Structure formats: structure tokens, C-alpha cells
Amino acid sequence: MKRRLVIAIAGANVVLVAAGWLLLVAPQRHHAQSASQQLQTVQQQIALLTGLRGTQGGQAKQPEIHTGNLYRLAQAMPATADESDLLLMLDQLARGSGVKVLLLSPQTPTAVVGYVVLPVQLSLQGTYGALTRYVHRLRMLVAVQRGRLHTTGRLLAVTSVAMTPATTGGGETAAVDVNAFVYGAVNGVVPLSATSTDTTSTSTSTTSTTTTTG
């Protein structure tokens, strides 16, 4: 009887791990591409609005800039990190999903061309359904539909999800890594410019080594 019980529990764990891979880990590849497309859309709209603001008037009629568009862009990809607001949003979203937050930890920001990536590590506890619901809501904070940006929070890219049975309290624990994006400096880290990266690559390619023979 005990042997059958052990086999049944082991089989249930295998099914749980397989379900976790299919529902959480595997979709990350598709979501990474979706998040990249959303990020490109946000950058394009920011560049468009910045260019319109800097052009001289009188030569051609410029399209009207709606404040709603500016608000959505600033909400999805703000000019400042505002880490306290970001962590508060992540915590409130977890509570609304029925998930308990064990840890919220911002990581070292990374500069890329045009923006700064701000990674955040989350440790969560809840039922399997609540955790999957939370991850889904993180993904849907920003969406692009028919070329139009829809936002209910910050643009976040879920980069990894790892779930294990909770040691206390029942349910599951999940380690979730997300990336937030900032259209400005974060703790002294500033976005890279295309010209600076081109200069770096050029100087690297032209570096030569001289060997002296005596």
C-alpha cells in the first residue's frame, strides 16, 4: 500500500512539472518576441513624438499629438526608474491575483541603445492557478493591437519562471524574473547611443598589435 502511494505521489509530481513547463516555461520564448515587438513600438512612438516636438513650425502642418498617447508612453516606459512605484505595482498586482509576495529585489540596471533595462527578481507563493494568473497579468500590462498601444502599467518582459512545491503553507513557490524598461538614466546608468556603439566597434576593429623583434 505504501509503495503504491509513493508511486502515485511521484507520478503526480511528474505531471505537475510537465504542466509547469508547458504553461509557464515554454511560452516564455513566444512572450520574449512579443515583448520585443512592444518595446520597439514604444520606442518608435517616443521617437516620433520627440521628432515632432523638435521640428520647426510653418513649413508643414504637423499631426495633432493627443495627451492620451503621451500618457500611455510614459506609463509603459517612463523617463525615470521610479523603483518604489514599480515594486508597489508588482505587489498590488500579486495581491489582486491571490499571490503572496515573499521577495521583491531590483537588480543592477543594464544600458542598451535607447533605454535602460531594470531587472527585478520576485519570490512568490500561491496556488498553481494564482501564480499562472499573476504571470499572465504581468504580460498583459502593455499590449499592441492593430498598431495601437494599450497600457495598464509598466512594460514588463517575463524572462524566467521556476516553480517548486512550497515547503510551508501549501501551494507552490515561484521564482520569477522580469525586466522593466526606462527611457532615461537609472542609478547613474544611462542609455547607450547608436553613435557611441558604432565608435566602439570601429575602434575595436582597427586596433592592431605590433611585435618588435630584437
* Calpha distance 66→28 (Å, rounded): 34
Cα–Cα dist 112/197, whole Å:
9
Q: Is residue 151 part of a domain?
A: yes
DSSP 170-214: SSEEEEEEEEEEESS-BTTB--B-HHHHHHHHHHHHT--------
Range of the domain at 92: 2-51+72-195
Q: Could you count the other beta carbons within 10 Å of the beta carbon of residue 140?
A: 12
Higher local confidence (pLDDT), 57 or 119: 119
> For the whole model, what pTM was predicted?
0.64
Look at residue 186 and tell me whether its pLDDT is greater than 80. yes
Give domain status of residue 104, yes or no: yes
> Does 209 map to a domain?
no
Q: Is residue 64 part of a domain?
A: no
User: Does a structural domain hold residue 188?
Assistant: yes
pLDDT band at 96 (very low <50, low <70, confident <90, very high): very high
Q: Report the range out of 9-23, 31-45, 101-115, 197-211 with the highest average pLDDT.
A: 101-115
Q: Is residue 180 part of a domain?
A: yes
Q: Quote the pLDDT of residue 211.
A: 46
Percentage of the chain beyond pLDDT 70 is: 59
Q: What is the CATH number of the domain that holds 143?
A: 3.30.70.60
Whether the per-residue pLDDT at 8 is higher than 50: the answer is no
81 in a structural domain: yes
- Residues 91-105: what's their mean pLDDT? 96
**What is the number of domains present in the chain?**
1
